[in-house]
Structure 1
Amino acid sequence: MNLNNRTMETRRLRLLLELSRLGSMRAVADAMGTATSTVSQQLTVLAKEMGAALIEPDGRRVRLTPAGRRLAEHAVTILAAVEAARLDLAPEADPNGTLRVAGFATAIRAHLLPLVTELASDHPRLRVLVREHEPAEALHLLAADETDLALTYDYNLAPAETDPTVHVTTLWTAPWGLGIPTHADVPQTADTLEVFACFSAHDWIVNSRNTADETVIRILASMAGFTPRITHQADSLDLVQGMISAQLGVGLLPIGVATFPQVCLIPLTSPRVTLRAYAVAHRGRLTWPPLALVTDLLARRTATTAGDMPALSPRQSAR
């Protein structure tokens, strides 16, 4: 049989398998709830697809040829695999398989990893493959179908672009402030723009792998009447604080983070700076049990724990 450039429908395989079992097209038609002529036509099409005769006359009946018997043997395995796949992928099926997740460090460390521990016990056939990436990187992997779930963030002052091809689940929000040297003089009643204006002559520290916080800094600095001098980049919050301690500059930090002795964290209240975290997946794929389960568990977990967490940031002290 030449299978090059040929396709077949599993329905036709089912008809062939029933013919091998029942021995007549009429019996197959009765069992499958169709007409005898339909059975004959579909088996003729199947023979053309396979490039081999599958049935031959046997008196007033028909019987399978050697090629037909061989294909019927394959049909048992093929149809069983198709049924297993259907049951495996059904929305009500127990989640199993490999779920690929790409996301920023806090989402992984604070929320995903605890779930992985639970899943290992409750759903042992589900494997979670984790990759640490900043939002743009994670979304690129999602678009390339190299990950199933992207954990991302943006800021209220630098919202991410809307992509109609993905489904976005909001996970949590967290306020951010400005990290400054402890000796710096800032009025206690200063609003966000006044705080920024106090550091118009300072160097500024931004994320090395994502531009969102730099966008926020530039927007607020512009509103405060100056252009910030962006000079340093760091992907680690500890390194940002170390730079601030060394008086290399100032930078955004999440409210509640444990600060170094030489660092003071000033809340930004008017306008506020708020980080927003998301779980992002392709539209239409949330019916896949592993993806649906993990997305739902993340949403539930962050809904109950985000308010209790002192600091939720995309950049962590340990990589």
Structure 2
Amino acid sequence: MDVHRLRMLLELSRLGSMREVADTLGTTTSSVSQGIAALAHEVRTPLVEPDGRRVRLTPAGRRLADHAVTILAAVESARLDLDPTSEPTGVLRVAGFASAIRRSLLPVVEDLRRTHPGIAVQVHEYEPVEAFDLLARDDVDLALVYDYDLAPAEWRADHDVVPLWELEWGIGVPTRDRHLGLADLADRDWIVNSRNTADEDALRTLASRAGFVPRVVHRIDSLELVDDLVVAGRGVGLLPRGRASRRGVSVVRLRDPEVRLRAYAVTRRGRDSWPPLRAVLERLAPG
């Protein structure tokens, strides 16, 4: 159904005269009459009937006019929602890894609560592979993901990517072994992420440069559990430097090369004009 014709019908139900509808909408009585007739043809039922020298809505016309109130309100809401100059409102779905949610997203959510209370942010914790899948299916609007400089991500052609920040990583070892270098750890059991391959790829690149193949034994998602395994002497693995690790864990600095985790905000190409998403991206972007 043509929304302009629906507006004519709604105004006719309120004003009772095609001439008044024409004056209100800035058109002619003939155009209103033709619009109502075309709408009746679209819905396959009469919408008006003669009432002396005027017309009145049939029962079907009154029911459709009632629907028109809701339909036209929804159309206007959609227009405002997509208008880049309007006050942003709507539900923004974000999938991301825990560090980016804590470091980047939560401060933005707090700021939006004050500046744009019409934006509701839904937060889902996922590793990059999972977040990319959700983004591709349009199940989320924004993905907060990471890669390593030694294992760069391969971006899709329909991705818009905003770099956020970088963080140096090292090798988490028992404190008693903090003097050891990477090659000294060749015979240890290694711990990698259970839900993403990026840190394992970075580890294998590091190890190949040091002349060994790492023996990956444990696959763990939680950094706190990695700490526990390191303290228990069950393995070593990549951990962020500067993080408060469990007592008994030291994070050995790597040089030549360093390992740096790089965080990004990723959206589907062309979606960043949606006001709620744009408001979040503007606050996430560094500097």
Calculate the TM-score normalised by the size of structure 2. Answer: 0.86
8 Å contact kept, 2:171–2:239: yes
**CA deviation map 1:205-253 (0-9, x unaligned):** 1112211100111122123222110011222222222222222222111
Q: What is the number of equivalent residue pairs in this alignment?
A: 286
Instruction: Compute the displacement of 1:10 (Å).
Output: 0.6
Counterpart residue number, 1:293: 279
CA distance, structure 1, for counterparts of residue 68 and residue 248 of structure 2: 72
Please state how far the C-alpha of 1:171 moved relative to its aligned partner: 1.1
* AA of the residue aligned to 1:127: A
Displacement after TM superposition at 1:73 (Å): 3.9
Give distance in 2, aligned partners of 1:111 and 1:70: 50
Selected match of 2:149 from 142, 156, 160:
156
Aligned counterpart for 2:18 among listed residues 24, 32, 42: 24
Cα 1:136–1:185 shift into 2, 3 Å: closer
Q: CA deviation at 1:22?
A: 6.7
The 5 A counterparts of 1:1-319 are: 8-20=1-13, 21=15, 23-24=17-18, 32=25, 39-56=32-49, 63-184=56-177, 186=179, 195-299=181-285, 303=286
- In the alignment, the residues of structure 2 paired with residue 253 and residue 54 of structure 1 have an alpha-carbon distance, to the nearest angstrom, of 70
Distance 1:266 1:17, change over 3 A: same
Structure 1 unmatched ranges of 5 or more: 1-7, 188-194, 305-319
**Structure 1 residues 242 and 34: CA distance shift in structure 2, 3 A:** same
* CA-CA distance at 1:58 after TM superposition: 6.0
Q: CA deviation at 1:146?
A: 2.2
Deviation of residue 44 (structure 1)? 3.0
- Could you tell me how far 1:28 is from its partner in structure 2? 5.2
Using a 3 Å threshold, how does the CA distance of structure 1 residues 239 and 77 change in structure 2: closer, same or farther?
closer
1:138–1:185 CA distance, 2 compared to 1 (3 A): closer
* Paired AA for residue 232 in structure 1: H
Matched residue of 1:183: which SS? helix
C-alpha distance in 2 between matches for 1:196 and 1:79: 66
Letter matched to residue 171 of structure 2? L
The two structures have a TM-score, normalised by structure 1, of 0.78
- CA positional deviation for 1:33: 5.5
Give the CA deviation at 1:30: 6.5
Query: Partner of 1:130: helix, strand, or coil?
Result: strand
CA shift, 1:13, in A, is: 0.8
In 2, Cα distance between equivalents of 1:131 and 1:200: 37
> Could you say if the C-alpha distance between residues 182 and 17 of structure 1 is closer, same or farther in structure 2, counting changes exceeding 3 Å?
closer
Deviation at 1:42, TM superposition (A): 3.6
SS in 2 for 1:197: helix
Change (3 A) 1:15 1:261: closer
Q: Tell me the secondary structure at the aligned position of residue 120 of structure 2.
A: strand
Determine if contact 2:12/2:18 at 8 Å carries over to the other structure: yes
Structure 2: unaligned runs, 5 residues or longer: none
Can you list the C-alpha shifts for 1:264-312, whole angstroms capped at 9, x where unaligned?
Answer: 322222222111111122223222222221222122xxx36xxxxxxxx
Name the CA shift for 1:80/1:179 in 2 (closer, same or farther; >3 Å).
Answer: closer
30-39 or 127-136: bigger deviation: 30-39
Single out whichever of 51-60 and 195-204 deviates more from structure 2.
51-60
Give the superposition deviation at 1:137: 1.6
Identity over aligned residues, as a percent? 57
SS at match of 1:152: strand
